[in-house]
Structure 1
Amino acid sequence: MISAIERKCERLRFGSLFPDILNEDRLVDSLECFQTLEGHSGCVNTLRWNKTGTILASGSDDRTVKLWRAGEEKHSLDTGHEGNVFAVEFLPSSDDRKLVTGAADHVVFLHDIETNTNRKWEVEGRVKRICTLEHDPTLWWAAVEDPKGVHQFDTRLEEPEAIIQGPETNGEVRDVKSVAVSEAKPHLIVVGFDETAVRLYDRRNFEAPVLTFNPLYTSPLDYHATHVAFNKEGTEVVVNHGCGGGVYVFSVNSSEDPKVMERFHAVLDQPREPVISSQALPHADLREIGSSAIRGKQFNQAIDYYSDLIHRNDPERAFRSVCHSNRATAMLLRRHRGDTYACIRDCVKALEIHRGNSKALFRLVKSFTTMEEADLARKCIQKFKEWFPGDKSGMMTKMENEVNQITNGENHETEPVEGTVDYQQRFCGSTNHQTDIKEANFFGSRDQYIVAGSDCGHMYIWNRDTSKLQGIWRADDHILNIVQPHPNQFMLASSGIDDDIVLWQPLLDRSDDYESRHISDPFEFIEKRREERFGAGFQLSLLRDITRREGQCVQS
């Protein structure tokens, strides 16, 4: 007999009539906790749906794995682990009868629930992630924190095979933190390490990575990957970076695309177009809204606002160019980690759209100066003098003096290494400092959203079409680590430090006394959390610096 919950979820199945009628943005905005699953007595470190989405498996610090169906606990497995369970997966083609688990005790188990038996393998480090593949039901892969790295297990063999060793940085082998295999392209496996770079391998040859995903401005140990995942088509990878790195999407197919710095040099080699005049630009009312947000130090709002304007793809080239350069201004002033390079990317794009954007070129000078890239800053200054002679404000002279006081920095790679892919999209707002299992996943019928956990215990969802923050939801009283989209319904399961699991789905009709978990003002929430983290002194210092620089970062 189908339960009420199962009937309700069926209406939200991807590809059904329901999502076709209602815009999925509205479904995301309507997400609420519709059930809390209680049964564990410790942090819930891992969640996995079976292939059909009828069963949810959960692993916990209490060393058990529980199976949930239609919101009810159907089975509790005493795993035999002597440490926190970090990973659980259904073994394909086993009728959901067999589960693979990994834990902090350096052990991997293959459990047969029906016969109540198991097989045991011992490794040399904590097992942080396990992944399986429908095409190879006898195999699975484990991210193990030991020098051997990724292990491949085969039910037909007695011992696992170490296939991908962690890279060596400063004489130390980096631990593996996460691993994922693409169902759509089963020869691809992506691995996240205790360092910034994430590596993509071909399972037919593990000697060297096919691609290395690495934000261009970073150093090897700036961040570490806490989670990696493929999209449905196997064409993109999402990475959640710890140490304040943010959430990134990389394209598997973009290795041949022109790199940002190649595009930078190419656009400066072309002739200038007529100078963009603020008075001649359309949509003065729209531009004023964004400018007002920047003047009010509401940089997150300004970035989201200009992202929305960019997404609209206005037919006026000059206006589109200014939207990119104004978003760059907001990022340059916000000063989150990675914002300076993001500003460079936006300014290059602005000049590609219209080479009469003087402010875009000026902000490139500011960004390269900030990154201590003196040669690149000087190139921009020279081009500014050539394209826009007669700088009456004297700002370029001041910048030239500032550039002359620096030498080229040694901490940033501005020219990509062969085989290295820069990010496609970057999402900020969530925090990832306190745990190393924090997830970020694709969500939506087209993978058009990114969902991630956060140290603040909240769930963040970004809209990839617009690059905007879609919303924030209170999900855990401490830290939210796990966010697992349902395989074929508009539904999520989340867990963290609390010992319960939260199930989320759209609630389009709610009573007046319903207590929503949706944060009404996400930007105010982010700023409050940032102030709590860094303190009022940091905020005052930042505002003083911004005030000093604002005259140099005016927007159109």
Structure 2
Amino acid sequence: GHLGCVNAVAWNSKGTMLISGSDDTRINIWSYSGRKLLHSIDTGHTANIFCTKFIPETSDELVASGAGDAEVRLFNLSRLSGSGSSDNSIIAPSALYQCHARRVKKLAVENGNPNVVWSASEDGTLRQHDFREGTSCPPAGSSHQECRNILLDLRSGSKRSLGDPPKQVLSLKSCDISSTRPHLLLVGGSDAFARLYDRRMLPPLSSCRKRMSPPPCVNYFCPMHLSDRGHPSLHLTHVTFSPDGHEVLLSYSGEHAYLMNVNHAGMNEMQYTSGDVSKMMTYSPIVNGIELQSCVSNVFPNGFPIKKNIAAKLDKCRKLIKYAKKSLDNGIPYYGIEACNEVLNGYSHIIGSALKHECLCTRAALLIKRDWKNDAHMAIRDCYAARKIDNSSYKALFYMSEALSQLGRHEDALDFAVASHSLAPLKSEVAERVENVKKDIALAEAEKNSKANDGASRSDIRGGRILSLSDILYRPEANGDVPQDGSRSDRDDSDYDEELELDFETSISGDEAQDLDSNILHGSLNVRIHRRGDSRDNAGASGPSDSPSSSSQSSRTCYLPEPAVDMKQRFIGHCNIGTDIKQANFLGQRGEYVASGSDDGRWFIWEKRTGRLIKILNGDGSVVNCIQCHPFDFVVATSGIDSTIKIWTPSAPVPSSVADGSAGPETCDVLAAIESNQQKLSRSRNSILLHVSSLTVRPGGQEGWI
């Protein structure tokens, strides 16, 4: 039915119809029971459609679309000529909103509300369109009329890190409204933080003519290890509530998918502050202000002795840990990590502290050995938890030192190595670890001095020579996010790689938000390099470029960082780099499973509670972007770069790489596929250079991103 990439799919509330939007600028309406195309609407959009929705409580007659032309359009299907027409149905929009200045990436609707649709745009605003108040908006910049429909003005809302005040434009990529508590609004965009707002507490709707300070949110959501990175490329591509509204799921570009708890009553055991990250990575005999325990015992957490009726489960846990240790020795850490996950996620309520400590240390060692993206950070979490259980064991300190070395934090690694050696002075591997870290520090210092001397002998751009991209990437002034004591070779593989903002220009005129042609143009490319912290114009495309009022500026000088909610589960295996609309969603009416699309043409299903990978399915010739679960049936709709939509059922005879934890027909390729995805996520600086040298630019200044 479509002639281009299918960027959006959505079910109606009854699950009887499916709506899709595509690069061909058409909306298609499909019958679920008949598996056939009902209507194909020429929307009139002049750029790719990124989002489509049925408007609730309208007998599925009203549908909305948002696109790369910055427009939101509303269509009344009852105005279609004839019935059952599927060929090039032409219908004028019943409402046309043109007040956004950049691409509209996501629409949201409220259950039971037939009058309003919300749109999230890369211009940094989330707008509320009420059909009762008007069916059109003046174009951005019109002088004769103001459009007062901005619910969230985040044109000064992006944060570099949790401890920094919001300053730059937060280009919104996704939004969602809770189905159980519709006053709660979740948004995500061009930084690492998803934000939860209570619509009842937001200020009145405003216009784009005056940029407002970002309103306070109920919660920030961000995995702790991503909260202080400040990388310009780190951003969210999709955010969503769980069916019961108690959890949120975040999907990151260049990262994994993460599950978090919604903070209901203002208190959350998963909350952290901007200072907690460094505390976790800095050695101290005291954790969270509490002196560590000196010993552990094989009793329940409540102090009662082990009962016979759980002896079998505990025996299973011991066997799983034994298997994990064997995996550590034979060089296949993936399955050992899965075994530890089963123990810690499935039996944490019955295992004693001794067994838990052993499992945490074993998993940390396995994560360090596997060394996929952010595995070192996950190992640090395990070591930190193990230290709170027992400070008389050297293992947690030892593995903490190894993880910190992987991140290039050699000085901190040495502190933990020395502490480990003091507890186990006769362990040869511990003494060797101390010496290795000392060598790492010496090498890092030598390289730092060498680069400093080399940099002093070179002429800067002020001396008349234009710096190459390689010069800028490897110049001696270290980025604030990169440890000063880490060597370049160490940092190349670490998660603290320095990143740059690259602006691409072509000689083609036109709005950068529009795809004028799907053909790729090859030609000259002008590259501007911006270090983080360089002064640059961060004004939004709509409204004046003046910053918020002076009173808000003065308040930022005494900015008090808000806490954020940390992850409780990570879902790993897929790859999310190539497109900006990739979804991760809950599956099932109770949301017991999580699924995500991937750049390798597959889609992945995990068990939500444990994070265990359940299935890998081939869903597209190139990339799977969209995953939408049927509201009632055991059915999932997926779409991507292909021009087709695929409907999946549990009984479908489709090969799966993983089936209920057992080996499937493609088992031999499971690890190879996952490892390939992780390598793509962990590209080094050399990959960045190769990527820049081989870029092809689409008309309008885009370089292939959706």
TM-score range, shorter chain: 0.7 to 0.9
RMSD: 3.3
Shift of 1:335: 1.9
Residues 387 and 533 of structure 1: CA distance in aligned 2, closer, same or farther (over 3 Å): closer
Kindly provide the CA deviation profile for residues 384-440 of structure 1, in whole angstroms up to 9, marking residues without a partner as x.
3565555454145326635865799942899x9532222121111100111000000
Structure-2 separation of matches of 1:474 and 1:85: 24
The one-letter code matched in structure 1 to 2:333 is F
User: Aligned pair 1:303/2:346, yes or no?
Assistant: no
| Secondary structure, counterpart of 1:344 in structure 2 | helix
The one-letter code matched in structure 1 to 2:590 is R
Task: Name 1:97's counterpart in structure 2.
Answer: 61
The one-letter code matched in structure 1 to 2:73 is F
Shift of 1:464: 1.8
User: Aligned pair 1:164/2:153, yes or no?
Assistant: yes
Task: Name 2:258's counterpart in structure 1.
Answer: 248
The worse-fitting range, judged by mean Cα deviation, of 42-51 and 386-395 is 386-395
| Secondary structure, counterpart of 2:377 in structure 1 | helix
Shift of 1:59: 1.1
Kindly provide the CA deviation profile for residues 176-203 of structure 1, in whole angstroms up to 9, marking residues without a partner as x.
1111111112121111112222222221
| Secondary structure, counterpart of 2:201 in structure 1 | coil
Task: Name 2:37's counterpart in structure 1.
Answer: 73
Structure 2, gaps ≥5 residues long: 81-91, 138-147, 161-166, 203-214, 281-285, 299-313, 446-477, 484-495, 497-559, 659-663, 685-706
User: Aligned pair 1:525/2:670, yes or no?
Assistant: yes
Task: Name 1:270's counterpart in structure 2.
Answer: 292
| Secondary structure, counterpart of 2:129 in structure 1 | strand
Shift of 1:497: 0.8
- Whether the 8 Å CA contact 1:57–1:88 is kept in 2: the answer is yes
* Percent identical: 28
Task: Say which one has the larger Rg.
Answer: 2
Structure-1 separation of matches of 2:436 and 2:399: 11
Give the counterpart of 2:269 among 230, 249, 257: 257
Residues 499 and 151 of structure 1: CA distance in aligned 2, closer, same or farther (over 3 Å): same
Shift of 1:348: 2.2
| Secondary structure, counterpart of 1:157 in structure 2 | coil
The one-letter code matched in structure 1 to 2:337 is I
Give the counterpart of 2:655 among 489, 503, 516: 516
Map residues 47-446 of structure 1 onto 2, 5 A cutoff: 47-69=9-31, 70=33, 71-116=35-80, 117=92, 118-122=94-98, 123-146=100-123, 148-158=124-134, 159=137, 161-162=149-150, 163-166=152-155, 167-168=157-158, 172-206=168-202, 207-218=215-226, 219-221=229-231, 222-243=233-254, 245-253=255-263, 256-257=268-269, 259=272, 265-266=287-288, 269-273=291-295, 285-313=319-347, 315-373=351-409, 376-377=412-413, 380-381=416-417, 383-384=419-420, 387-388=423-424, 390-393=426-429, 394-395=431-432, 397-398=434-435, 401=438, 410-411=480-481, 417-446=561-590
Residues 172 and 317 of structure 1: CA distance in aligned 2, closer, same or farther (over 3 Å): closer
Structure-2 separation of matches of 1:60 and 1:504: 20
Structure-2 separation of matches of 1:315 and 1:83: 56
Residues 522 and 208 of structure 1: CA distance in aligned 2, closer, same or farther (over 3 Å): farther
- Whether the 8 Å CA contact 2:158–2:191 is kept in 1: the answer is no
Shift of 1:373: 4.5
User: Aligned pair 1:486/2:496, yes or no?
Assistant: no
Aligned residues: 487
Structure-1 separation of matches of 2:678 and 2:256: 16
Task: Name 1:546's counterpart in structure 2.
Answer: none
- Whether the 8 Å CA contact 1:267–1:351 is kept in 2: the answer is no
| Secondary structure, counterpart of 2:399 in structure 1 | helix
**Quick check: which one's strand share is greater?**
1
Structure-2 separation of matches of 1:534 and 1:451: 21
Residues 233 and 528 of structure 1: CA distance in aligned 2, closer, same or farther (over 3 Å): closer
- Whether the 8 Å CA contact 1:201–1:211 is kept in 2: the answer is yes
Residues 112 and 465 of structure 1: CA distance in aligned 2, closer, same or farther (over 3 Å): same
Shift of 1:127: 1.1
Residues 499 and 136 of structure 1: CA distance in aligned 2, closer, same or farther (over 3 Å): same
The worse-fitting range, judged by mean Cα deviation, of 73-82 and 456-465 is 73-82
Q: TM-score, normalised by structure 2?
A: 0.63
Kindly provide the CA deviation profile for residues 348-396 of structure 1, in whole angstroms up to 9, marking residues without a partner as x.
2233444454312211122234334467546544653565555454145
The one-letter code matched in structure 2 to 1:94 is T
Task: Name 2:617's counterpart in structure 1.
Answer: 473
| Secondary structure, counterpart of 2:108 in structure 1 | strand
Structure-2 separation of matches of 1:456 and 1:231: 26
Structure-2 separation of matches of 1:60 and 1:274: 58
The one-letter code matched in structure 2 to 1:302 is G
Residues 185 and 374 of structure 1: CA distance in aligned 2, closer, same or farther (over 3 Å): farther
Residues 59 and 421 of structure 1: CA distance in aligned 2, closer, same or farther (over 3 Å): same
The one-letter code matched in structure 2 to 1:80 is G
Shift of 1:336: 2.1
- Whether the 8 Å CA contact 2:252–2:576 is kept in 1: the answer is yes
Structure-2 separation of matches of 1:284 and 1:174: 48
Structure-2 separation of matches of 1:198 and 1:135: 25
The one-letter code matched in structure 2 to 1:486 is H
Residues 532 and 249 of structure 1: CA distance in aligned 2, closer, same or farther (over 3 Å): closer
The one-letter code matched in structure 2 to 1:252 is V
Shift of 1:269: 2.1
Structure-1 separation of matches of 2:290 and 2:427: 19
The one-letter code matched in structure 2 to 1:115 is R
- Whether the 8 Å CA contact 1:59–1:66 is kept in 2: the answer is yes
Kindly provide the CA deviation profile for residues 335-356 of structure 1, in whole angstroms up to 9, marking residues without a partner as x.
2222111111122223344445
The worse-fitting range, judged by mean Cα deviation, of 257-266 and 445-454 is 257-266
Instruction: Determine which structure has greater relative contact order: mean sequence separation of CA pairs < 8 Å that are 6+ residues apart, divided by chain length.
Output: 1
Task: Name 1:35's counterpart in structure 2.
Answer: none
